[in-house]
């Protein structure tokens, strides 16, 4: 139960911070200088933006790393050598920071961006040589070994009298684990448990011409009051 609540908190934080930044609100997010992605993370394609919640002392030193989110919509329960290397690297960089007095606050979100260095035009050329590393499978509900079902929040169930469908775009790794889950439809009350459920689902590994590949697809959840 404690682990489930922790995952929910991570999702709420991600949605809150990303929404605030997107709307131009003051979410106390400070962008960090360009950083180099660890080799293990690069090998898994774990590029994107990471957010780190920190507590800062009165001298501008980071005294506590509260949580690390990302990159982008990466599932908070996703584990891999690349994720471990990326989290360790970001934590190490964060703990060594001294915050500029002009930006100093007791509570901050730090933003680290890991950009894919490969030119976009090189990716189709790479596929011609090695084959696609990610295939689009469309709706993947029926391909799950374990499709986690989201819980219908009691408050939402009482407030609505109509069906609502939530769509979640997922990226599944070569072992059938969900790497990332992004809500594409549905209100925030239902989107949060849907994303948590999608992240906890498992799928059969997919092979193409005998080689394991990642899968991009959609999970649809229908909430019935």
CATH number of the CATH domain containing 148: 3.30.2420.10
Examine the pLDDT at 33 and tell me if it is beyond 90: no
Q: In the prediction, which pLDDT does 188 show?
A: 80
Q: In the prediction, which pLDDT does 25 show?
A: 37
* Contacts by 145-150, CB closer than 8 A, 24 or more apart: 145/176, 145/202, 145/203, 145/204, 146/201, 146/202, 147/201, 147/219, 148/196, 148/197, 148/198, 148/200, 148/201, 149/197, 149/221, 150/190, 150/193, 150/194, 150/196, 150/197, 150/221, 150/223
Domain count, the chain: 2
Q: Does 196 lie in the same domain as 156?
A: yes
Which residue among 89, 114, 139 closes a domain?
114
Q: Does 110 lie in the same domain as 127?
A: no
Give the residue among 49, 43, 81 at the shortest CA–CA distance from 177: 81
Indicate the range of 41-45, 49-53, 123-127, 196-200 predicted with least confidence: 123-127
Which residue among 58, 85, 114 closes a domain?
114
Share of the chain above pLDDT 70, in %: 78
Q: In the prediction, which pLDDT does 176 show?
A: 94
More confident residue, 10 or 29: 29
Question: CA-to-CA distance for 154 and 31, rounded, in angstroms?
Answer: 38
Q: Does 103 lie in the same domain as 157?
A: no
Examine the pLDDT at 16 and tell me if it is beyond 70: no
Total-model pTM: 0.75
Q: Does 148 lie in the same domain as 104?
A: no
Which tokens sit at 222? 């229908």
Mean pLDDT, the chain, as a whole number?
Answer: 80
Partners of 23 in the β-ladder = none
Domain span holding position 130 = 122-223
Q: Does 12 lie in the same domain as 102?
A: yes
Indicate the range of 100-114, 144-158, 176-190 predicted with least confidence: 100-114
What's the start-to-end Cα distance of the chain, in Å?
A: 24
Q: Does 8 lie in the same domain as 107?
A: yes
């Amino acid at each position: 139960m404690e682990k489930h609540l922790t995952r929910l908190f991570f999702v709420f934080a991600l949605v809150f911070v990303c929404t605030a930044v997107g709307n131009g609100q003051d979410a106390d997010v400070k962008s960090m200088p360009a950083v180099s992605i660890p080799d293990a993370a690069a090998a898994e394609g774990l590029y994107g933006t990471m957010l780190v919640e920190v507590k800062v002392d009165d001298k501008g030193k980071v005294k506590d790393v509260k949580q690390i989110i990302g990159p982008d919509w990466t599932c908070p329960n996703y584990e891999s050598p690349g994720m471990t290397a990326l989290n360790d690297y970001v934590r190490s960089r964060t703990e060594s920071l001294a915050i500029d007095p002009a930006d100093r606050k007791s509570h901050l979100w730090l933003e680290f961006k890991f950009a894919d260095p490969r030119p976009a035009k090189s990716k189709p050329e790479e596929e011609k040589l090695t084959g696609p590393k990610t295939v689009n499978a469309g709706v993947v509900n029926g391909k799950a070994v374990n499709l986690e079902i989201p819980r219908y929040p009691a408050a939402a169930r009482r407030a609505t009298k109509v069906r609502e469908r939530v769509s979640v775009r997922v990226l599944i790794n070569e072992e059938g684990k969900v790497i990332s889950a992004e809500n594409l439809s549905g209100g925030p009350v239902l989107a949060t448990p849907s994303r948590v459920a999608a992240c906890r689902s498992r799928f059969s590994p997919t092979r193409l011409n005998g080689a394991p590949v990642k899968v991009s697809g959609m999970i649809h959840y229908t909430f019935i009051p």
